[in-house]
Structure 1
Amino acid sequence: MAEPSLIDVDAPEVRLRALVWGPQDAPIALCLHGFPDTAHGWRKVAPVLVDAGWRVVAPFMRGYAPSSVAADGSYHVGALMDDALRVLDAVGATGRDVLIGHDWGAIAGAGLAAMPDSPFRKAVIMSVPPSASFRPLGRVPDGLRLAAQLPRQLMRSWYIMYFQLPGLPDRSADWVVPRLWRQWSPGYDATEDVAHVFEAIGAPQNWRAALGYYRATVRNSKPPARYRELHQHWLEAPHLPTLYLHGLDDGCASADYIRWVEPALPEGSRALGVARAGHFLQLEQPDAVGGHIVDFIGRA
């Protein structure tokens, strides 16, 4: 498959660069990456989607070079949603477009899928369950079973609290990034991917931006006014038909969460586990993941 082309999208507070595979006149599969990953994380699934007639557009999320850091300092989910919509507008929405998100891209994607006027036709969310799967907490089915997951999940999520500390996390990229890849996708050779990550967020200002996603969310700070309306949707249940995929060997979040995701999704949705895959399932099992996606979104 040919190397991707590059496009730049200027938003009011950030310049976004995206990788693009596939024909210019095809409907868009907008792919949003997570942490610690980059737009290159879609390189193995892109050929499957292009063969099915889709144009794959994968932006480097704000703060991840060669996209710029945010001039307004906002790394709220609403800001990520706004960036995604601006990329879609820049490449030309067709009315048949789909959203595919992994990790932080999944969180933003769930918000985009919950918008009442979402420009996307379907959504694919991977590795991080929509927040609505666990809300309202007191009325979640099998609540005791979910509560039993909490101690192990807190251990797995050590990095989230660590990122809230002053100073020290800002100098920790060199050991945090490879450790998370080993922990989250055990047995996968992440050498190439980790190199891409350090190119994107190895510089101090980019690493601080990547930490900003976690700090804005955990500290529940208010987003700037331009993102506030979008931001309110990320905790809501998706309205779009949604495919949820989760690696059965995920070391970041248990695949057991699938049982709580499925009831939160609208009619026409699916929730599936992917065998022999950890957190970065689109890289570990690209043919299986690509096949599930194409089965759900259809051939363009």
Structure 2
Amino acid sequence: MSEITTIQANGLEFGCLTAGPATGPLALLLHGFPDTPHSWRHLSSALAERGYRVAAPYMRGYAPTSPPADGAYQTGALAADANALHEALGGDDSAVLIGHDWGAAAVYGALAAEPGRWRRAVTMALPPINAMLESFFSYEQLKRSFYIFLFQTPLAEMALDEGFVAGLWRDWSPGHDEDLSPVFAALGSPENKAAAIGYYRAMLDPSRHLPRYAAAQEAAGAVGTVPLLYLHGADDGCLGVDVIGMDGGLMKHLPSGSRAEVIADAGHFLQVEQPAKVNGAVLDWL
């Protein structure tokens, strides 16, 4: 991927990594927590080789992308960012949208809010919220999700240091050794840490939701109409594969014509753990 370029969209300056021919169909790749666009390096190269114009932004508040002045981190804001980036990058109805973790949440909202912008989509490691509500509150999953509840407290900013981030990666993708220096840089300032935590605070506190994103927020809970491929690592230590209903429950929460697949020998960050398998599944789907 290229050096970081700056894209103005939805009132923010997004740092963005790009690849591929300038005339190709847009492929927008959205990362999650605690992560950066560097995790898309394998998929980005594969998409560029197929002629896609790849853009992988740093999500709002992850340096060098600016934190929003209004402090909005609700899912509706993330969805609005995705659609605004489509506009700013000159995308058309041949564009595809791919998201991992929080990036997946943005994908669901963006597709439901403005489906005409996107031809197909891929999400990884986070199904639609309604697909996992029944199983999320199991004892084992609540243990995995301790950080969500920690982030609701005043201790969050103190806890979110390099050791904490490295520990999450170690637990979520067992056996995978990743260079986390890009993640440490993206969360390097107090403002960046507050932004990453802000996603989780907005997740559980509707009083943090801004009216300007109300429509996109409501759309984020809808199934949508754009077919998508859902991928989940078999050894995901963040969200257990047992929680997401791969035995059939998941599909009723995905648009008609969608597909779901478990990636063997992969944890939460499956796109860097098993790039050949993930790239193959994505390219076949697209």
Q: TM-score, normalised by structure 1?
A: 0.89
Say whether the 8 Å CA contact 1:36–1:197 is kept in structure 2.
yes
In the alignment, structure 1 residue 189 sits paired with structure 2 residue 185: no
SS in 1 for 2:223: coil
Please tell me whether the aligned partners of residues 124 and 231 of structure 2 are also in contact (alpha carbons under 8 angstroms): yes
CA contact (8 A) 1:13 1:71 kept: no
Query: 1:222: how far off?
Result: 4.7
1:116 offset after TM fit, Å?
A: 5.6
1:225 equivalent in structure 2: 211
Counterparts in 2 of 1:1-300, with a 5 A limit?
Answer: 3-11=1-9, 13-115=11-113, 117-134=115-132, 146=135, 150-166=138-154, 168-174=155-161, 175-190=163-178, 192=179, 194-256=180-242, 257=244, 258-259=246-247, 260-297=249-286
How far 1:12 sits from its partner (Å)?
5.1
Q: Shift in Å at residue 45 of structure 1?
A: 1.2
State how far apart, in whole Å, the 2-side matches of 1:13 and 1:90 are: 11
Shift of 1:132: 3.2
Amino acid at match of 1:37: D
Q: Is the 8 A contact 1:97 1:120 kept in 2?
A: yes
Q: How many residues align?
A: 282
Q: Is the 8 A contact 1:13 1:72 kept in 2?
A: no
- 2:93, 2:116 within 8 Å by CA — same for their partners in 1? no
Q: 1:8 to 1:290 in 2, by over 3 A?
A: same
CA displacement at 1:225 relative to structure 2: 2.7
Secondary structure of 2:60 counterpart: coil
Taking a change above 3 Å as real, the CA distance of residues 37 and 4 of structure 1, as seen in their structure-2 partners, is same
For residues 59 and 245 of structure 1, the distance between their equivalents in structure 2, rounded to whole angstroms, comes to 21
Report the alpha carbon displacement of residue 7 of structure 1 after superposing the two structures with TM: 2.7
How far apart are the structure 2 equivalents of 1:254 and 1:55?
A: 33
CA-CA distance at 1:42 after TM superposition: 0.5
Shift of 1:155: 0.4
Query: Matches of 1:182 and 1:11 in 2, distance apart?
Result: 34
Contact 1:131 1:234 in 2 (8 A): no
Structure 1 runs (4+) greater than 4 angstroms displaced: none
Structure 2: gaps (5+ residues): none
What code does the residue aligned with 1:154 have? L
Residues 185-242 of structure 1, C-alpha deviations (whole Å, 9 max, x = no match): 000002x1x2111100121110011000000111123522322211111111132101
What is the CA–CA distance in structure 1 between the aligned matches of 2:117 and 2:130, rounded to whole Å? 21
Contact 1:132 1:237 in 2 (8 A): no
- Structure 1, unmatched stretches of 5+, are 138-142
Q: Aligned AA for 1:210?
A: A
Amino acid at match of 2:260: A
Q: CA RMSD in A?
A: 1.6
Q: Conserved in 2, the CA contact under 8 Å of 1:5 and 1:21?
A: no
Provide Cα deviations, 1:262-295, integer angstroms capped at 9, x if missing partner. 2222222100000111000001111110110110
User: Structure 2 vs 1, CA of residues 117 and 242 (structure 1 numbering), >3 Å: closer, same or farther?
Assistant: closer
**For residues 134-165 of structure 1, what are the alpha-carbon distances to aligned partners after superposition, in whole Å with 9 as ceiling and x for unaligned?**
4xx6xxxxx6xx47x71111000000000111
Query: Counterparts of 1:291 and 1:155 in 2: how far apart (Å)?
Result: 33
